[in-house]
């Protein structure tokens, strides 16, 4: 394989498999999000999701409403940029959720309905690698890249500017600051050859929530919530990969005017599959669901996701021009 073709394949594959996804949906990120690409890479996703359960999908605290059914259609759009800082790989990203959510709550034989549409709270993320290969600044760096065992530090912040109506509990915006700190881990298993790559990935993280002082005229507080995501990923061809996904989240006890709710202690399972159409375009489908959700006050969520991601780097675009000249 010619060096330019090898470079395009290496950079494009990493660029389009480590794509943007919503950081808060089901409190779980997809596999291969924290793979590293050449510095100064760019990615723009358009993500569609259909979610149902007994909690508001726009709320990362996943406050459970027993005997309730929520249905949401979400679209998310964002932008990610990679660069190097003191020889370490860095990624910054922003994503904006929008869509429609409705709920039905049945109490004593009576059903109440609510709905909300518009824009949710945007979320920004900063991620820096602290253990593993140094940032890929040059062509030889990209060709030699292997994650082996790498660890990042990340911080997410939700900005409370989404649509919010204090007269009802169901909203797209959350009217409070929230975010998380975590340590993404990628462990390479076997050779790093497109079509044969296998990884085991983990993301331990803690979500922190501010106070909503106008939650239907009351005060809502939420304890920190711990999440642990796990992924076993495998290439089945140079352009096709899939993963088995797991999640565990615990804590996050909510209180309204000092009246405490129940803490979370839930597990989720799912799968993700990705296909690289060309050097710039990638599609992904996935399904996730909670499994220990039979109790009325247990978290219940079912999510289907479809995404289209466009990524680019000046080296890839330059190599295309050379090919056509």
Domain ranges of the chain: 3-324
Strands across the sheet containing 254-256 = 212-215, 218-222, 254-256, 259-260
What is the pLDDT at residue 24?
Answer: 45
The string over 117-147, giving b where at least 16 C-beta atoms fall within 10 Å of a residue's C-beta and e elsewhere, is ebebbbbbbebbbeebbebbeebeebeebeb
What is the pLDDT at residue 232?
Answer: 96
Which fold is adopted by the domain 3-324? Lipocalin (2.40.128)
What is the pLDDT at residue 8?
Answer: 52
Two tokens, residue 89: 């790989």
What is the torsional sign of CA 192, 197, 202, 203? positive
Taking the chain (325 residues) in runs of 10, the rounded mean pLDDT of each run is 52 48 47 86 89 90 87 91 93 93 74 89 95 89 90 96 93 95 96 94 96 94 94 94 93 92 91 89 91 87 90 76 58
* Element housing 318 (H / E): helix 314-324
Largest CA distance in the chain: 73
What is the pLDDT at residue 110?
Answer: 67
In terms of pTM, does the model score above 0.85? Answer: yes
Give the E-state strand segments of 223-319 in sequence order.
225-237, 240-251, 254-256, 259-260, 264-276, 281-290, 301-312
Whole-number Å distance between alpha carbons of 114 and 132: 48
Two tokens, residue 314: 């000046």
Q: From residue 16, how far is each of 9, 276, 277 by CA, in Å?
A: 11, 7, 10
For 133, list phi and psi in degrees, rounded to 5. Answer: -60, 150
């Amino acid at each position: 394989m010619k060096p330019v073709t090898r470079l395009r394949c290496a950079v494009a594959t990493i660029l389009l498999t480590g794509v943007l996804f919503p950081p808060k949906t089901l409190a779980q990120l997809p596999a291969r999000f924290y793979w590293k690409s050449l510095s100064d890479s760019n990615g723009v996703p358009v993500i569609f999701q259909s979610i149902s359960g007994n909690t508001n999908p726009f709320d990362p605290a996943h406050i459970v409403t027993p005997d309730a059914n929520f249905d949401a259609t979400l679209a998310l759009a964002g932008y990610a940029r990679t660069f190097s800082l003191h020889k370490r790989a860095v990624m910054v990203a922003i994503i904006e959720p929008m869509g429609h959510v409705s709920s039905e709550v049945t109490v004593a034989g009576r059903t109440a309905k609510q709905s909300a549409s518009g824009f949710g709270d945007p979320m920004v993320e900063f991620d820096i690698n602290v253990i593993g290969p140094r940032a890929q600044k040059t062509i030889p760096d990209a060709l030699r890249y292997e994650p082996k065992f790498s660890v990042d530090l990340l911080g997410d912040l939700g900005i409370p500017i989404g649509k919010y109506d204090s007269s009802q509990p169901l909203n797209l915006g959350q009217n409070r600051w929230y975010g998380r700190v975590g340590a993404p881990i990628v462990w390479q298993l076997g050779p790093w050859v497109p079509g044969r790559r296998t990884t085991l990935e983990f993301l331990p993280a803690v979500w922190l929530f501010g106070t909503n002082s106008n939650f239907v005229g009351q005060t809502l507080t939420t304890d920190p919530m711990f999440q642990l995501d796990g992924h076993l990923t495998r290439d089945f061809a140079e352009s096709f990969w899939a993963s088995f996904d797991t999640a565990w989240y615990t804590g996050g006890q909510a209180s309204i005017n000092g009246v405490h709710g129940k803490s979370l202690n839930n597990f989720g399972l799912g799968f993700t599959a990705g296909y690289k159409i060309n050097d710039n375009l990638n599609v992904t489908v996935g399904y996730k669901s909670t499994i220990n959700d039979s109790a009325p006050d247990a978290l219940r969520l079912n999510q289907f996701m479809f995404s289209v991601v466009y990524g680019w780097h000046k080296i890839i675009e330059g190599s295309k021009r050379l090919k056509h000249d």
